[in-house]
Structure 1
Amino acid sequence: MEPLQLDGNNLTLEQAVRAVKNNTPLSLTAEARDRVNHSREQIDTAVRERRVVYGVTTGFGALSNVVIPPEDARALQNNVLRSHAAGVGPPFEDEVVRMTTLLMVNSMSKGYSGICLSTLETLIALFNKGVVPVVPAQGSVGASGDLAPMAHLSLVLIGRGRARYQGEEMEGAEALKRAGIEPVTLAEGEGLALINGTQVMTALGALTLCRGLRLAKVLDIAAAMSLEVLLGTNTQFHKRIHHIRPHPGQIDTASNMRKITDGSEIISSHKDCDRVQDAYSLRCVPQVHGATRDTLAHVRRVLETEMNSATENPLVFENGQVLSGGNFHGQPVALAMDFMTIALAELANISERRIERMVNPNLSGLPSFLIEGGGLHSGFMIAQYTAAALVSENKAWAHPASVDSIPTSANKEDHVSMGTIGARKARHVVENLKYVAAIELLCGAQAMDLFTNLKPGQGTLAAYQVLRNFVSHMDADRELNPDIETVARLIDNDDILGAVEKVTGPLL
């Protein structure tokens, strides 16, 4: 497989996610290797000249005023990994750890960290040979970088910590041995270079954003199906409406809705009916879904900038300057994560309202809870409860993490971002959103069975056919959990989106 060449400057969201999903090997460009070597030479010179350099010849954080004797400078780097590996809780999924590793390599390939090329190549070897450090998910406040989780990850480089290899968890030293990787002996400054960065929160954000972008399209499909079975109009998607309020996401969503409902006999059959306007959850799909799209576009810009940034401390420049700054502070990512969480939660909010309209006979004109023989059968009654529960849970997750701060390191680090907590919350919300979308699609397919023999729009029909290939019409009550999980898998695997785009062309 052709390797993904990293140079620290040009990595895209799609490249990173694809490399993690497809186990694409990593390598460095020749220019990146030269920069890394030059950066290391500057650190070696500073050590020989016995200059005082933060984290290289001094302690860390509140202990930065303690000068470390030259003979202890290398031991200091092992100590920082050990002492900072204080995370707790369940470990991150493998894809999060692998994405973090990739982003660490990309950042250090810029040549500002002072890390040895051999250490960076060992980090690449972990990724390429499938050694995945076990990294507890809790413990980062997102200011001096993601210190605790990145310390757990980096411990494996020196043969400590724990890792998963070929599906088995073991000691880090054993994982290296089985993979044929020699443990690293850290040089001055390398321990700090490995843990000072925002790569964990950025990795979480990138993977969640990728899912959110796909789910935004799935929610347009679900909304189109709901619109048709609720006898909505497509007038609200007219180009002229959206070009005089030209938010890009709104325009794109309206375009998607036109494509998905194109050719609908259901919509055209009631073009002269007396209903003037639809409820907001139908009429305002472009405005609501579109605002989420614009938010996700902003988050992409933030994350791709961060993915290609140097966030270590200190930073080693070409002329030998070693400058201590605050690029490790996660505030840009933290704010973006909170914004993304809110935007994804809003897609679930409006979807649940459409679900309610379908199951409520007073609003839909359909059988109660989308099943004949209501009373004996409850139909999709509790599916709507589940959607409501998920939406309510999202509201708690959507409380911004970034408005909080708590001092650490004897008040040296007196303002922190909570960016990793924000990114973890976003992952909860995107998972809940998937299930809400699955419930709306199930309800839409059931409603379509109940009320008409007219042909729906081209995209709606394609989605309906995929759903009915895997989930049958419900004639009598049955356990709904397997149906919801089946549709969730269809969403995860892009089966529904792929089928719709096959007939509509790419959705925006």
Structure 2
Amino acid sequence: MIVDEPRDLTPGAQLPIELSAELLARVEARRAEVLRALSSGDPVYGVTTGMGALSKVRLSDEEQRTHQRNLLLGRAVGGPPWLPPDQARAVVVTRLRTFLTGDAGVSAALCGQLVALINSPYVPAIPAEGAGSAGEIIPLAHAFGPLTGIGTLLDADGREVPAEGLLPPFELGPKEGIALLAGIPGTTGRAYSQVRAAERLADRMAEIAAGAIAVIGANRDPYHPSTGRGDELLQAEQTRILELAGPESQPRSLQAPVSFRVVPQVLAHVRRALGRLDEAVTRALDGVTDSPAYLDGAFVGTAGFHGIDLAAHCDHLVAALAHAAEVSTARLHRLLDPEVTGLPAQLAYDPGPQAGLVAVHKRAVAAVHSLRRLTVPSSIGTAETSNGQEDVQTFSWEAAGVLTEAVRLTREVTACELLAVHQAFFLAKRPVPVALAELLGATADAVPVIEADRPFGVDLRRLADLLSSGSARP
């Protein structure tokens, strides 16, 4: 992928990446301006001074020569568990995009070093937890220390390898160390990856819920788009459910249980939360996050590290997913009830001698319990650090981590419901709606016919992999 403009580069960009000569020339021209401005001798935070509570300390010329690398050394205090490879690479790609705007005033050579890391078979070992600061200096120190031979990389098999010697030798120039630590590229990249994952999951949740609606013969009245007047997103979900589930000429009852009737409302809420987080990610990708940033010919201190926009919308999406998982688990419970489905109890092939899927519902209940505990807002609970220089935090890094776990748990619950829908169609001998044939066909490929009890954890793991793949075929 050849990148001509910063906006061409997203955290999920296709690899390998190559920066156009014109773009690199613009980056280098801004770098020359920054070096001229630095030569004036005026104090510049983190370049000619210390950082945080030590910003009043002026650095000698000799100290400045080693200061930028030292910034990455003393702040790498994290440890395992490390970010998964896709999120680690998204952090690096997002950092590169922020540099391409010119705000950071870094060199084209540093951008090239980032490209070399992105295109390599390695990712930096970035701690998934423990940011604890205004901004992301701890995880970013781990993310970008390897550019200068500091710290640890992970190979394609997830093994830790020393960074020294794995990338071309590189020496940070003035301002480049602090630029690597500035802003919230980590939260931005991680949130981007989770938005994409949650979008795929929401599509699957709609299909699986429609399958549940179809297999119990639910009345289709609640999905008529005229009942969603005033809410175009809700009407779109109602239309989607009708198309997926197909018509029902002889519903089993006048009203299905609530967990079936509210499917469009639940999914519309998830998609609304997704859209708002996606907008926050775009704002973060396009905004000024460097500090000090080089804007209009001068160094300007910023608060671009205060990721409340991303943190709050991550929290919102976590709550929406938790609600969707709760409703899915309730629907799964109803699928085990012969009064609702007209099928054998607990979807067992031979009820009594066999327990059926009752324990699968219990697993979903446990996942929902974990989800509920994730819904405490991440940005609540500030604490002073850096001798009071940093007296508040948003914990946006942690918010992105909580969202990652929420997506995983919601996927687990969704896999449980998918297994039940799959079994219900098998027992009911009902035709699968045409719009659901691909997903349920892939499910049948992944999960053998259930005619006896077995360790369903194996089936659920396969279905969770299916749901995360973005494809209906395993």
Measured against the shorter chain, the TM-score band is over 0.9
Code of the residue aligned with 1:197 in structure 2: it is: G
Task: Report what 1:289 is aligned to.
Answer: 267
Distance 1:494 1:313 in 2: 37
The 1-side partners of 2:184 and 2:471 are apart by 34
Q: Take 1:416 and 1:65, find their aligned partners in 2: how far apart are those partners?
A: 22
1:7 to 5, 26, 44: 5
Per the alignment, residue 426 of structure 1 pairs with 403
Structure 2 gaps, min length 5: none
Secondary structure of 1:349's match?
A: helix
Q: CA deviation at 1:29?
A: 4.1
Aligned residue type for 1:407: E
* Residue correspondence of structure 1 range 96-111 to structure 2 within 5 A: 96-111=87-102
> Contact 2:75 / 2:137 at 8 angstroms: preserved in 1?
yes
**Which residues of 2 match residues 276-315 of structure 1 at below 5 A?**
276-315=254-293
Q: CA deviation at 1:347?
A: 1.8
For residues 70 and 399 of structure 1, do their structure 2 counterparts lie closer, same or farther at Cα, with a shift above 3 Å needed? same
- Alpha-carbon displacement from aligned partner over 1:256-308 (angstroms, at most 9, x marks no partner): 1122123x5xx22x15x6x3222221111111111111110111111122123
Is 1:154 aligned with 2:129? no
1:282 aligned partner, one-letter code: F
Residue 164 of structure 2: SS of its match in structure 1? helix
Structure 1 equivalent of residue 317 of structure 2:
340
1:227 corresponds to which of 213, 228, 251:
213
Rounded Cα–Cα distance in structure 2 between residues aligned with 1:476 and 1:236:
36
Q: What's the CA shift for 1:154?
A: 1.2
For residue 140 of structure 1, give the secondary structure of its aligned residue in structure 2. coil
* C-alpha deviation, 1:142, in angstroms: 5.6
Structure 1 residue 247, shift from structure 2 partner: 4.1
1:194 to partner: Cα distance: 0.5
Shift of 1:223: 0.5
1:471 offset after TM fit, Å? 1.6
Query: Could you tell me which of 252, 255, 259 is aligned with 2:243?
Result: 259
Distance 1:4-1:31 versus aligned 2 partners, 3 A rule? closer
Asked whether the 8 Å contact 2:446–2:462 carries over to 1, the reply is yes
Residue 245 of structure 1 aligns with an amino acid whose one-letter code is G
SS class of match (1:84)? coil
What CA distance in whole angstroms lies between the structure 2 residues aligned with 1:6 and 1:211?
Answer: 27
The AA in structure 2 aligned to 1:134 is A
- CA drift at 1:64: 0.7
Corresponding residue of 1:506: none
Q: Match for residue 86 of structure 1? A: 77
Q: Secondary structure at the match of 1:316?
A: strand
Match of 1:504 in 2: none
**Structure 1 CA distance, aligned partners of 2:131 and 2:423?**
45
Partners in 2 of 1:151 and 1:343 — Cα distance?
A: 33
Give the Å deviation of 1:390: 0.4
Q: Is the 8 A contact 1:114 1:316 kept in 2?
A: yes
Aligned residues of 2:215 and 2:430 also touching (Cα < 8 A): no
Return the letter of the residue paired with 1:203: G
Q: How does 1:94-493 map to 2 (within 5 A)?
A: 94-141=85-132, 143=134, 145-167=135-157, 168-176=159-167, 181=168, 183-242=169-228, 244-248=229-233, 250-262=234-246, 264=247, 267-268=248-249, 270-271=250-251, 275-318=253-296, 320-451=297-428, 453-493=429-469
Q: What's the CA shift for 1:324?
A: 0.7
Residue 432 of structure 1, CA deviation: 1.1
Structure 1 match to 2:41: 50
Kept in 1, the 8 Å contact 2:133–2:385? The answer is no
Cα distance, 1:310 vs structure 2: 2.9
Find the aligned partners of 2:132 and 2:300 in 1 and give their Cα distance. Answer: 23
Q: CA deviation at 1:353?
A: 0.8
Q: Distance in 2 between matches of 1:336 and 1:310?
A: 19
Structure 1, 301-310 or 159-168: larger mean CA deviation: 159-168
Q: State how far apart, in whole Å, the 2-side matches of 1:212 and 1:164 are.
A: 26
CA contact under 8 A between 2:133 and 2:390: conserved in structure 1? no
Superimposed CA distance per residue, residues 473-507 of structure 1 (whole angstroms, 9 cap, x where no aligned partner): 222211101111121222222343x79xxxxxxxx
- Aligned partner of residue 137 in structure 1, secondary structure: coil
In structure 2, the partner of 1:502 is none
Q: Give the partner amino acid of 2:72.
A: L
8 Å contact 1:9–1:110 — kept in the other structure? no
- Using a 3 Å threshold, how does the CA distance of structure 1 residues 142 and 303 change in structure 2: closer, same or farther? farther
d(CA) in 1 for partners of 2:430, 2:126 = 54
Gaps of 5+ in 1: 500-508
User: How far apart in 2 are the matches of 1:34 and 1:406?
Assistant: 43
Deviation at 1:193, TM superposition (A): 0.3
Residues matched between the structures, number: 473
CA RMSD of superposed structures (Å): 1.9
Native 8 Å contact 2:2 2:20 kept in 1: no
| Percentage of identical aligned residues | 26
For 2:39 and 2:427, the matched residues in 1 are separated by 80
TM-score scaled by length of structure 2? 0.95
Spell out, residue by residue over 1:351-374, the C-alpha distance to the aligned partner (whole angstroms, 9 max, x if none). 111100011234433221111432
Deviation at 1:73, TM superposition (A): 0.8
